[in-house]
Structure 1
Amino acid sequence: MEKAAEQNLIDPAHKKNFDFIDAIRCLAMIGIVMEHSVYNGTYIFEGFPPKHMLYICLIQISKFGTIAFFVLAGFLLGDKFTSYSSWQYFKRRLSSTFMPWLIWSLVLLVAILAQRYIALHKSGDEFHFVPELISKIELVYLYTNYWFIINFMFCIAILLCFKKYLYSFWLGFSLLVFSLIYSINVYFEWFIPSHTIAIFGFIFYLWLGAICNHYWNQLEQFFRKTNILIFVCLFLITFIWAVFDIARLMNARSVDPYNTLRLSNIFYSLATLALLLKIRNFNFTKIIKPRQTTFGIYLIHYIFVVSLLPEIFRPFHLVPFQEMSVPFMLLYIFIRFIIVYGLSLATIWLLNKTKLRWIVAL
């Protein structure tokens, strides 16, 4: 019985038939991997020629993943907040995610330290271990995808502190205010605007997911009755807004013009999520087995992006990304994505056949 309870905690969709949520989480993860596969730098183009706008569009179209993940996680976790004591829930949640996250983040840390050591050795410069270690720890845990788990557990802890008021719209409004402070700061830069250190910036979206779960019957009726063209139009309008918002921030030499918490990207992410909830039927994702693979792909894929892709393409002596022709650029991005996603998925499937399957949170 204890084992069954733990399974339901780790996998809330197991108890209710929310398979479509797993499918959408799979698509959100594909978006995150795509974004990391496309990205080759921020200010790498001069002006805004068609090639640069295409590059921006490719990044933006996959930019819904992070906010969607918080909303969907809140949806799946919503009723569990009230089914367990705060400490019991947090302890179980932490035990299922912390060790896999720690192991893979340490793998990335070692990999980038090794890369740095080799680069300095080739150039004849001295490698100072302690300063390099401190610098790379900051990089891995604040500015790579591994920030997500730290932020996610913090968000859960905050909501558990207020679980008595979980379905209070006043709580939601307060959390929205915190999130909007970060969003507005993207444009004014009162403090460092990186979304990866916006520790209070994403709690609202976890709360929003819990609210969606709470009122799902009403929401489901809304999605069924509303014409899909409305969702498509909202998707297109917010996408165009988000693309030109990036361009405007670039003109202003923003520190982080692709910031996830841009107002335009928030509306785009929610519009995309609404469209996916309207469509709902993504049976092809069953091949990937998203319930067993999604979190593992998140943990593993960035290691391949940072450590493996440069080594794979280094022998080919490719021209700089911004100088590639459009067809070659698209082919290059597609190959990068296939390598990263394919290897991540293969790694998880292989680990799933061994006693080490727990390190991908299965």
Structure 2
Amino acid sequence: MQNTELVQEKKNFDFVDTIRCIAMIGIVFEHSVYSGTYIYDSFSLKHIVYISLIQLSKFGTISFFVLAGFLLGSKFVSYSSWQYFKRRLSTVFVPWLIWSSIFITVVLIQQYIVLKDKFDLAQLLPEKMKMAYLYTNYWFIINFLFCIGLLLIFKKFLYKWWLGAVFLLFSLTYSVNVYFEWFIPSHTTAIFGFVFYLWLGAILNKNWVYIEQKIKHVSYPVIIILFILSFVCSVLDSMNLINHQSSDPYNTLRISNILYSLITIILLLKIKNFGFIKYLKPRETTFGVYLIHYILITNLLPEIFRPFKLPLIQDMSLIGMLAYVCCRFIIVYGTTLLLIWGISKSRVKWIIGRT
């Protein structure tokens, strides 16, 4: 019986790592596509395709919290609260601090080259740190560790439905605020906005045998239809927010995107096995991709494409835009994997960490 449980646990880790890898591919693709919010004058076909490309990969963040919660639920059995949190600090926080510091340093070097004598480190450093930790992908780990800490505090009540209801209320408050903007709506500053999805992942882990059977009994046509409908609703939702000059029309916590993300997770859990993903070695590379890719997007890509003097993305043809964003993604993801491969062979392989 014990061996069966161990096999089942290993199997769970395998498919979770696979789906997290797919979610990270989506996040890199989203960052490779995004070139601004209000860059089109009207909802032309190019604009709608641009919105759709961003939305297609928008399931990544919520997926990461749900899947991290799934793994968290299994780890709670093996570690005390402090042991688990300490382990997260060494494998997640330290590598994140190193790479986010590299990002800030590179940005400051760029500013020094541009400003020269007008460069003021005392003024720019706090400004760039705020930008990095609140408005780039590096926001995630701050929020992630906060959410883990919150669950660890309430570890005794982790599987209580009332706790999930409280966390859901927090999340929905941010979701509704996307449309009314009572306070800054950016999902990157939604410090209480994602803890529900971490909790949901823990519940998924606890009831996995039952939930897995339910997912198996749902037909592919039903899930695919729901996926398409939720995707279309999310695109229309973003278009409506853009039309109303929202400050964050692609917000991850939009109600439409929450539904889209959860349906996408169900679809991925039903498929479960993606043979090609094993070649990407998801357990060893996924967190490293998160840490490194944004540095390449903001610093490498501009230098690669500068000599070609390409038009702005909004001025490209539809085919040109599609080719351009695909090239950006391939360059960033491929280069990131090469860097991770090189680092993993060195003595400092710990700097790419793992979630």
Is residue 330 of structure 2 the alignment partner of residue 333 of structure 1?
no
Indicate the residue corresponding to 2:248 in structure 1.
Answer: 256
TM superposition shift of 1:240: 0.3
Indicate the residue corresponding to 1:3 in structure 2.
Answer: none
Indicate the residue corresponding to 1:159 in structure 2.
Answer: 151
Deviation sequence 1:321-340 (CA, Å, 0-9, x none): 10001111111101100111
TM superposition shift of 1:262: 0.5
Q: Which amino acid aligns with 2:97?
A: L
Indicate the residue corresponding to 1:39 in structure 2.
Answer: 34
Q: Measure the CA separation in 2 of the matches of 1:98 and 1:15.
A: 25
2:101 corresponds, among 85, 102, 106, to: 106
Report the TM-score, using the length of structure 2 for normalisation. 0.96
Q: Which amino acid aligns with 2:328?
A: R
In structure 1, runs of 5+ residues without a counterpart are 1-11
Q: Measure the CA separation in 1 of the matches of 2:186 and 2:114.
A: 27
Is residue 176 of structure 2 the alignment partner of residue 181 of structure 1?
no
Q: Measure the CA separation in 1 of the matches of 2:218 and 2:232.
A: 22
Deviation sequence 1:116-157 (CA, Å, 0-9, x none): 222224xxx712211111110000111111111111000000
Indicate the residue corresponding to 2:264 in structure 1.
Answer: 272
Q: Measure the CA separation in 1 of the matches of 2:18 and 2:32.
A: 21
TM superposition shift of 1:57: 0.2
Is residue 133 of structure 2 the alignment partner of residue 141 of structure 1?
yes
Indicate the residue corresponding to 1:9 in structure 2.
Answer: none
Q: Which amino acid aligns with 1:270?
A: L
TM superposition shift of 1:13: 10
Is residue 207 of structure 2 the alignment partner of residue 215 of structure 1?
yes
Report the TM-score, using the length of structure 1 for normalisation. 0.94
Q: Measure the CA separation in 1 of the matches of 2:114 and 2:312.
A: 19
- Deviates most, 109-118 or 235-244: 109-118
Deviation sequence 1:286-323 (CA, Å, 0-9, x none): 00000110001000000001111111111111111100
Indicate the residue corresponding to 2:191 in structure 1.
Answer: 199
Q: Secondary structure at the match of 2:10?
A: coil
Is residue 10 of structure 2 the alignment partner of residue 16 of structure 1?
yes
Q: Which amino acid aligns with 2:232?
A: I
In structure 2, runs of 5+ residues without a counterpart are 1-5
1:283 corresponds, among 260, 275, 280, to: 275
1:54 corresponds, among 27, 45, 49, to: 49
Indicate the residue corresponding to 1:321 in structure 2.
Answer: 313
Indicate the residue corresponding to 2:67 in structure 1.
Answer: 72
Q: Measure the CA separation in 2 of the matches of 1:23 and 1:221.
A: 20
Cα separation, partners in 2 of 1:276 and 1:76, compared to 1, 3 Å? same
Indicate the residue corresponding to 2:302 in structure 1.
Answer: 310
Stretches (4+) displaced over 4 A: 12-15
Q: Secondary structure at the match of 1:224?
A: helix
Is this contact kept in 2: 1:13–1:76, CA < 8 A?
A: no
Cα separation, partners in 2 of 1:203 and 1:357, compared to 1, 3 Å? same
Across the aligned residues of Structure 1 and Structure 2, the Cα RMSD in angstroms comes to 1.4
Cα separation, partners in 2 of 1:158 and 1:222, compared to 1, 3 Å? same
TM superposition shift of 1:84: 2.0
2:352 corresponds, among 345, 356, 360, to: 360
Q: Secondary structure at the match of 1:257?
A: coil
Q: Which amino acid aligns with 1:51?
A: K
Is this contact kept in 2: 1:182–1:201, CA < 8 A?
A: yes
Q: Secondary structure at the match of 2:192?
A: coil
Aligned-residue identity in percent:
60
Q: Measure the CA separation in 2 of the matches of 1:349 and 1:313.
A: 25
Is residue 116 of structure 2 the alignment partner of residue 127 of structure 1?
no
Q: Measure the CA separation in 2 of the matches of 1:131 and 1:231.
A: 51
Indicate the residue corresponding to 2:228 in structure 1.
Answer: 236
Q: Measure the CA separation in 2 of the matches of 1:45 and 1:88.
A: 50
State the aligned residue count. 348
Q: Measure the CA separation in 1 of the matches of 2:140 and 2:153.
A: 20
Q: Measure the CA separation in 1 of the matches of 2:273 and 2:220.
A: 13
TM superposition shift of 1:15: 4.7
Q: Secondary structure at the match of 2:233?
A: helix
2:20 corresponds, among 25, 30, 45, to: 25
Q: Which amino acid aligns with 2:30?
A: E
